[in-house]
Structure 1
């Protein structure tokens, strides 16, 4: 697991340090402050590979460094420092054997995945062994070739192969699909089905009610969760196969990096996606498994609210990135239960003044100014009559702001007969 990550002259701050919790790490903050950047750097620290472009130092000639600490199963964590080498745009690392973090899976927002397997990628002495497996969005479905070798058949072919062969992977896939299903309807595997005339293979389907729908035609949200379920099963079983060939014990530790899990998901699914991911990993691990370490970047108040019942300050943390004085700051240890998604929206984590439309917020601000005896500076809302009309248009009849406004304006007998 990743313990610490410290950046110097990298990104939008002269220095930035994150101390990662052992289980759930939620990364929140406005766009452009570096949430995905932190995940990219965490992947590099855990695997010594880049899942995307190499991180670049801040402009200028100051020395740029990345320090990190990875804890293995038994070995004490050893600090590692890398200084950017401008000659070849690289971050050199010590040649000694690195600490092994377990299986690392990076779920990217673009639909791609990266997998680092300790049986297939760790401490490479074989020049033909890849440093990691990186899948673009299309590779997830169609398979991946690396240096002339077929390393993965892809979701559709593997699914059919597992299903028709009644392989253990198919049983695992069904269990994981059940775990990550939306609350409204379970993801149920349907019979294989031929989709296109002239095509020589069947394709997997899902049962929607009594109808079989090809997974290739499923919605974007369903497809993303199908890809997640498939990749968990693929990475888990491929690791065990490789470990058996090597005569080694398979690894039970997992690190998950997840960029915006709410992408494409309905609110009902957003508030279950992370708890269901933990449940899915439990199903793969069985008894005796270790809780995964999860690093999750999110913009969703429903995702944060969904973790309130299970949040443990001893094992979990909220990392809030904010801009202060033109520099990005990481604040930790500030988790506070908010009770619902609306309260999360107006909390420091998401920073809205009100969980309303901009126009409704402006109307209420204008009304509050008038109630204080001040002049409203909101254009078009300088009089009580204009504010009242705006409130009528923008607020529902049962809105909790109405009593304050009606009492203040003495419009007690009704909206139409008042003096507003």
Structure 2
């Protein structure tokens, strides 16, 4: 499990330091303040690879570069390995245009999964990626990793030499379903765990064809309205969950096969990095996705220990964490602008109750949960309520504007009507 990362002279802040909880970690903050950057750094710390360097089709996951070229850029990290805790420092080399890595094999934090915001996925498997790179005369040793663009997840991952590393969701799912073996059973179970509600579970339908020109058997999902819909025609939210389910099952199956060849036991530690965990998901799905991801490894291995690091912009995600969060094991980290600089703070997780209260909390820093137009009119109206010299014409104008932005049952009317009657505005 990853324990700590710190950076100097890279990213949006001169320096950052983050000490993870051993189980659930949530990262919030405005756009452009470094949430995805922190996930990329965590991935690098555990795998010594940048996703875009291993798969040129990615537009994200690029190498981190120094902010000030003439100053040192440093990444420090520590994580718990199989036998001991490991701390490592990396320094950027402008001459090599890469990060210097000390000789020697890296530690093994466990299986590392990275779900990127654009639908790309990455996995680092200690059973398959933990070797010295062949034929390279350089000062560093690092493991490789499997990096999937969104298209690779569905259609397969092919190496430059023509070797197929993965058949892709469509072919693998169809093959598993025809065989009716362990992989298909696990896939069905994982889909059920990742479903939003018990009565709306994701369930594989019958294989079908979608085109005269496409000879592949196409997996389908049983929809609640009675149709089997091809997975390529599902909604964006369903596609993301379907892709995640397949990716996890494929990774686990390949991990088991590799461990069997090596004569070793399966890995028990799994680290999930998830960018914008709520992406494309309906609110009812946002309320369950955190618990689902934390539970899914149990379907693969009941003894597995899971660490989740999730970036979110959603108050529903934060509200859903209220029944999960354990201050002894978990952490909430918030990125804010403070005096013109990006600041990373570990905040106390306090239950807000109502989801709208999360919008006005330190996580999202909004003044209210209303529309911007309603917020402005209500602020003006609040000043008028305490103004003893306001004229009736102004009161009528504000009343009409409030009627245009508030519902008839909005709590603000209670305060407005009380003051209006006391001051005789309705006479």
After TM superposition, the score normalised by the length of structure 2 is 0.92
Aligned twin of 1:358: 372
Q: CA offset at residue 123 of structure 1?
A: 3.2
Superposed CA deviations along residues 119-178 of structure 1, whole A, max 9, x for unmatched, are 010133655997001100000000001132111000010001001011211000000000
Matched, 1:95 2:103: yes
Matched, 1:156 2:164: no
Equivalents in 1 of 2:72, 2:214: separation in Å?
57
Superposed CA deviations along residues 283-310 of structure 1, whole A, max 9, x for unmatched, are 1112x222x1111010000011111111
Equivalents in 2 of 1:375, 1:270: separation in Å?
48
Aligned twin of 1:379: none
Aligned twin of 1:131: 144
User: Contact 2:131 / 2:143 at 8 angstroms: preserved in 1?
Assistant: no
Relative to structure 1, the CA distance from residue 131 to residue 256 in structure 2 (aligned partners, 3 Å threshold; closer, same or farther) is same
* Aligned equivalent of 2:90, options 82, 85, 97: 82
Q: CA offset at residue 335 of structure 1?
A: 1.0
Q: CA offset at residue 282 of structure 1?
A: 1.3
Q: CA offset at residue 198 of structure 1?
A: 4.2
1:214-225 map, 5 Å: 214-225=230-241
Superposed CA deviations along residues 361-420 of structure 1, whole A, max 9, x for unmatched, are 0011001111222899xxxxx92222111111111111111111111122899xxx925x
Q: SS of the residue aligned with 1:405?
A: helix
User: Contact 1:301 / 1:344 at 8 angstroms: preserved in 2?
Assistant: yes
Larger mean Cα displacement after TM superposition, 204-213 or 308-317: 204-213
Q: SS of the residue aligned with 2:10?
A: coil
Aligned twin of 1:12: 12
User: Contact 2:153 / 2:168 at 8 angstroms: preserved in 1?
Assistant: yes
* Aligned equivalent of 1:142, options 155, 171, 183: 155
* Aligned equivalent of 2:258, options 239, 242, 249: 242
Q: CA offset at residue 111 of structure 1?
A: 0.5
Aligned twin of 1:70: 79
Aligned twin of 1:206: 221
Q: CA offset at residue 15 of structure 1?
A: 1.4
* Aligned equivalent of 1:196, options 200, 205, 211: 211
Equivalents in 1 of 2:344, 2:131: separation in Å?
32
Q: SS of the residue aligned with 1:295?
A: strand
Equivalents in 2 of 1:137, 1:294: separation in Å?
22
Q: Which runs of 4+ in 1 moved over 3 A?
A: 125-130
Larger mean Cα displacement after TM superposition, 202-211 or 232-241: 202-211
Q: SS of the residue aligned with 2:184?
A: helix
Superposed CA deviations along residues 254-304 of structure 1, whole A, max 9, x for unmatched, are 000000011111111111111111122211112x222x1111010000011
Equivalents in 1 of 2:246, 2:410: separation in Å?
45
Matched, 1:334 2:348: yes
Equivalents in 2 of 1:83, 1:89: separation in Å?
11
1:253-264 map, 5 Å: 253-264=269-280
Superposed CA deviations along residues 183-207 of structure 1, whole A, max 9, x for unmatched, are 2611111111121124333111111
Aligned twin of 1:58: 67
After TM superposition, the score normalised by the length of structure 1 is 0.93
Query: What are structure 1's unaligned runs of at least 5 residues?
Result: 377-381
Superposed CA deviations along residues 216-251 of structure 1, whole A, max 9, x for unmatched, are 111111111000100111111111111111222221
Matched, 1:349 2:363: yes
Matched, 1:388 2:399: yes
Matched, 1:251 2:251: no
Equivalents in 1 of 2:308, 2:220: separation in Å?
30
Equivalents in 2 of 1:192, 1:374: separation in Å?
73
Q: SS of the residue aligned with 2:38?
A: helix
Q: SS of the residue aligned with 1:194?
A: coil
* Length, aligned pairs only: 409
Equivalents in 1 of 2:79, 2:125: separation in Å?
16
Aligned twin of 2:58: none
Q: SS of the residue aligned with 2:191?
A: helix
Q: SS of the residue aligned with 1:332?
A: strand
